[in-house]
Structure 1
Amino acid sequence: MSETTIEKTYLSVPFEQKDEAKEAGALWDKSAKAWFAKGPDVPPALRKFLPMNEADRSLEDPRSAFRDFLRENGADLTGLPVMDGKWHRIGLAGDGKEQNASYRAFLDGVPNGQFKNFKGDEILKWQGTGPELSAPQKQKMIAEAAQTREVREKERADEQQAAAKRAFGIWANLKTWATPDNCPYLGRKQVRGFGVKLTDDGRMVVPLRDDANRIWSLQFVGDDKNYLKQGRKEGLFHTIDPNKQLEKSRDAGPKLTVIVGEGYATGADVHAATNLPTVIAFDGDNLVSTAKAIRAKYLQANILIAADDDHHLPLKSPPLPNKGLKCAQRAAEAVGGKVLAPSFTPEEKKRGLTDWNDLKQARGQDGLLTALRESFTAMQREQQQARGKGLEREREMTL
């Protein structure tokens, strides 16, 4: 087992012995659906329930079989999959750090699972060839999976805390604020530096903060974009709000509007055009958790998602989903917000334009303002149409 100090040691407790385990101090984890003992030191009366002491009578280990299925279909998986019925993101072989797939698997009845490669629309299905698991076998695997997850999450939390300390030290020692004159990236994108710093080699540094303003990690932007190793990203963001509207208007209710976008250049441009507080989520995968963090802090605010339009992805072979629009729509749905999507001409699409900064550089600042107004008008029109359809359905139900 890992040397990481764990908070829970999971147990394989048969249903008919649950009262005995509870009497001996075992606790129930509703999320993991398993019993556990606090900490790594298991009381003597509970040691017989440790998974390692449970005889394995399975003819086929469904975890190994499902792992082989995932690998055969392109998944990059080294350990055993978690079979808890929940979707888990996973990488594809050859995709580096990208997680372009997900899986879920069940131990109920005959073990079975599903695999979704985001580069295609088909969901592949797997079913174990062994017999249905007995209750003790199933409970043993649930306990082992919960223990593995407990150790991984604790290790990841420790790594993220260490990265946060490194990030704070690096940020504090950077003395130069990034501007279009000293930072090649800002000069190339034609945007201002809002709360970002500069490394000695000219890269822009963007802090990743939580809703309490604590720095957890850093993004380094030059020719490429990189993050501090083992740093946290989920639910973290960078805020562009030089006039401190968020601080002044926290209790403004629906009068407060906050924009959430993916990249720094998009956020800087949208803020400059609207003068509204703008939050950078760093990528599409982080839009939902970032939007939720903003909603939790500003309960009644209007939240607009400044989307990227990855129109080139559906044209690939095999076709991929338009990730920018899809992630923006999910974020908007999660917080009751609306999407501001750029609209490109066929010629602009051929040139590879995908975000609001691309649009600004192609059409100028006035063109950006016009496009934002058009997108906002289209959003309101769709909202009114949706209300109209809802009223029609209500009238039909009353007839």
Structure 2
Amino acid sequence: MNDDAVLEQQTFLAVPYEKREQARKAIGQLPNGNNALSFDGDLGLWFARTGTPLSKVEPWLPNPDLFQTPTHQDPVIELSQILEASGFVLPESPIFDGQKHRVATQDDKRGQKSGVYCAYNDGHPAGWYQDHRNHSEPQKWSASFSHSDPLAKLHIKAHQANKRTLREITTAKRYQHYAKRCSQAFQLMPHAKVDQSYLVKKDVQPFPDVMQDKKGRLVIPLMDENHNIHSLQRISPNGFKCLKKAAQKTGHFFVVGYKPLKNGEPILYAEGYATAASIAEATNRSVVMTVDAGNMPKVAEKLKATYPDSQHLFLADDDRKNTINKGIEKARESANLTHGHLLSPSFIVDEQEAGMTDFNDLHISRGLGTVKSQIETYLERCWPQLKNKPKAAELNSITLVGEQAISPAETSKPKPANQQLNDQLKPLTKLGHTDAQTDENTENTKPIEPKPNTLPDRISKLYLEVDSKYYFSSRPKCLAFIDKGNKLQTKLSHTQVISDLLSIAKQRNWEFIKLSGTKAFKRQAWLQASVQNMNVRGYRPDKEDVKKLQALQAKSSVPATQAITPKDEQLNEIVQVKPSKPLDKQATLKAAQKFSQSLQPEAQKQFMKKVMHKLEHFFLKPQKTEHLSTQTIKEPQHDQQLEH
């Protein structure tokens, strides 16, 4: 054995109680002065810390030779009998590799695999199994034989602890690997279409971040509380659901809706996407989708810690036909963890006999109004303070509650705070030129008159119009947008809807548009409009938005436009002049100093600073006969909006 080798991870040792002092002295201390040996009170085992020399712990490592104990029954046969008695249909003998194995059960339909087991052979064979239809928790199993030798038990216990630690490290690395792959795949997918078969069947819309893959399946990202993607759920047009194999689902979720979760605001939970989407659409509240009932308590525990002042309402599926009503049971467990409440849909007898179990079934049966009534009434009953609380959705709109709008923006430039100073700055357009000319026609240019309320041809094919309200032709009950002539409004942040609204705006020659509404809507509208060289106000992009825009422009071969503020516009008026003669630096500086004498001291200081900056900028670059500044994308400052 290499004397220089050290432990790369915490390692449990088989140290008998009577030899603990001997082991402590033999193993000694680490280079940093800490004791190399420590005790785990929960497991009742001594362990050596990372970095301990391997040669010092070798006498105390678990010895596999002590594990062999005769038994009257093979553990493989024993586990097989237990699984079959629980309704599992095993295609082969159980595999003792520490991995999860999905198998069918007697109650499954063709292609379903509701059973799962995991078996270990770490000295003493053990494991767990679960029928997701009938078991609310994994059922633990351990081989029936036992060791009578206390030393053998100690070695087995330490060996199992080391195996468990190794599995946890390996699993964490695997989860990290697949989380990265899921995130990369998600970024390449387009947004889901409103006419996707599953969405049409469930009569729900694709909310932001719901994607669609090449096979037409919905793709829903499962995230943590920091919005990092860990796994993906895919839903086929026929409703079949699957998760990314080997990726981590436990404790992760997806927020269905247009508003982010906020501390102090109610948090609603549901299992599947269709149920969460129906609730979000009915209540105008964001809903946490937990994928299934078993994952709900783990998600609730995380979000309770992240949003301690929020109220938690668990909207359970009523799985009354199953032996164990897992939907209600797990919702109740989650409510107990968060001091919240649970609510299941109230069905009439005919609906119960038809097998309806969740709020999406209620939505399809009796409409969104019934869903909203049941949930909002219960919310106000549980938390009376919410009754008169104004809804945050009103803040996201300039006209209607909870709606986004695209409208023609004012084409006139905003007046600066000091109008007198602005008037005094106008002569600067002639500084340094003996016969500089200004384009007087520019000041008299009138904004382009918008066309009448015309629509592109494709709009009539995709939407049904009723009193200026446009519904999806594939989903006549779902409102897409409202046309108010000089304003287009929508409750959706869907990419295709935004694209259609912008095409209408362009058809009507809206060169200046103003955005309002949710951040997701404004971001997507800003990106699409900027690529089309439309002038956008109402959204302040960040660095990631600018990078995304640059990538889109490079892909579409559209030249970049410059991000400016009203203040920058004034400066551009100064420098973007067509001089008939080259500028003379000294003459310009002299004229500027003479002109600044008529200004107030503070204004004079600011004025000369700007002049020096412009002169340095100009004389550092080759002079041009036309515009002095090139059009490039600038990363917006904190007090800027991106306008064109």
- Structure 2 distance, partners of 1:236, 1:344, is 30
Q: Measure how far apart 1:133 and its partner are.
A: 3.1
Q: Deviations over 1:34-74 (max 9, x none)?
A: 2223459762222111112664475559xx87665443211
Residues 242, 126 of structure 1: CA spacing in aligned structure 2 closer, same or farther, 3 A cutoff? closer
Amino acid at match of 2:201: R
1:188-207 to structure 2, matched below 5 A, reads: 188-195=201-208, 196-207=210-221
Matched length: 346
CA contact 2:116–2:129 (8 Å) conserved in 1: no
Residues 376, 267 of structure 1: CA spacing in aligned structure 2 closer, same or farther, 3 A cutoff? same
Given the alignment, which residue of 220, 228, 236 partners 2:244? 228
1:246-265 to structure 2, matched below 5 A, reads: 246=261, 249-250=262-263, 253=264, 256-265=265-274
Q: Higher Cα Rg: structure 1 or 2?
A: 2
- Structure 2 distance, partners of 1:112, 1:198, is 41
- Structure 2 distance, partners of 1:30, 1:65, is 33
- Structure 2 distance, partners of 1:307, 1:266, is 10
CA contact 1:234–1:289 (8 Å) conserved in 2: yes
CA contact 2:222–2:230 (8 Å) conserved in 1: yes
Question: 1:394 maps to what in 2?
Answer: none
Given the alignment, which residue of 282, 292, 297 partners 1:273? 282
Question: 2:43 maps to what in 1?
Answer: 32
Q: TM-score, normalised to structure 2's length?
A: 0.48
Q: Measure how far apart 1:19 and its partner are.
A: 2.2
- Structure 1 distance, partners of 2:52, 2:331, is 46
1:214 aligned to 2:231? no
Amino acid at match of 1:9: T
Question: 2:154 maps to what in 1?
Answer: 139
CA contact 2:233–2:243 (8 Å) conserved in 1: yes
Question: 1:291 maps to what in 2?
Answer: 300
Given the alignment, which residue of 35, 50, 63 partners 2:61? 50
Q: Deviations over 1:277-300 (max 9, x none)?
A: 311111111000111111011012
Q: Measure how far apart 1:243 and its partner are.
A: 3.0
1:56-67 to structure 2, matched below 5 A, reads: 56=67, 58=69, 60=71
Question: 2:477 maps to what in 1?
Answer: none
- Structure 1 distance, partners of 2:198, 2:15, is 57
Question: 1:282 maps to what in 2?
Answer: 291
CA contact 1:186–1:192 (8 Å) conserved in 2: yes
Residues 187, 44 of structure 1: CA spacing in aligned structure 2 closer, same or farther, 3 A cutoff? same
Question: 1:237 maps to what in 2?
Answer: 253
1:289-328 to structure 2, matched below 5 A, reads: 289-313=298-322, 320-328=323-331
Unaligned runs of 5+ in 2: 1-6, 28-35, 85-89, 106-111, 385-644
Amino acid at match of 1:26: L
- Structure 2 distance, partners of 1:56, 1:120, is 32
Q: TM-score, normalised to structure 1's length?
A: 0.75
Residues 350, 374 of structure 1: CA spacing in aligned structure 2 closer, same or farther, 3 A cutoff? farther
Residues 213, 309 of structure 1: CA spacing in aligned structure 2 closer, same or farther, 3 A cutoff? same
1:343-362 to structure 2, matched below 5 A, reads: 343-362=346-365
1:184 aligned to 2:197? yes
CA contact 1:33–1:142 (8 Å) conserved in 2: no
Question: 1:154 maps to what in 2?
Answer: 169
CA contact 2:12–2:48 (8 Å) conserved in 1: yes
- Structure 2 distance, partners of 1:232, 1:98, is 18
Given the alignment, which residue of 100, 119, 126 partners 2:134? 119
Q: Measure how far apart 1:134 and its partner are.
A: 3.5
Question: 1:396 maps to what in 2?
Answer: none
Amino acid at match of 1:237: F
- Structure 1 distance, partners of 2:328, 2:44, is 36
Using the TM superposition, name which of 189-198 and 72-81 deviates more: 72-81
Q: Measure how far apart 1:330 and its partner are.
A: 1.0
Using the TM superposition, name which of 262-271 and 372-381 deviates more: 372-381
Residues 17, 68 of structure 1: CA spacing in aligned structure 2 closer, same or farther, 3 A cutoff? farther
Q: Deviations over 1:88-123 (max 9, x none)?
A: x987853476456899xxx9xxx99999877389x9
Question: 2:96 maps to what in 1?
Answer: 79
CA contact 1:260–1:278 (8 Å) conserved in 2: yes
- Structure 2 distance, partners of 1:126, 1:243, is 47
Q: Tell me the secondary structure at the aligned position of residue 216 of structure 1.
A: strand
Q: Tell me the secondary structure at the aligned position of residue 27 of structure 1.
A: strand
CA contact 2:259–2:285 (8 Å) conserved in 1: no
Q: Measure how far apart 1:312 and its partner are.
A: 1.1
Q: Deviations over 1:167-207 (max 9, x none)?
A: 11101111x211422x2211111112112111122111111
- Structure 2 distance, partners of 1:199, 1:102, is 31
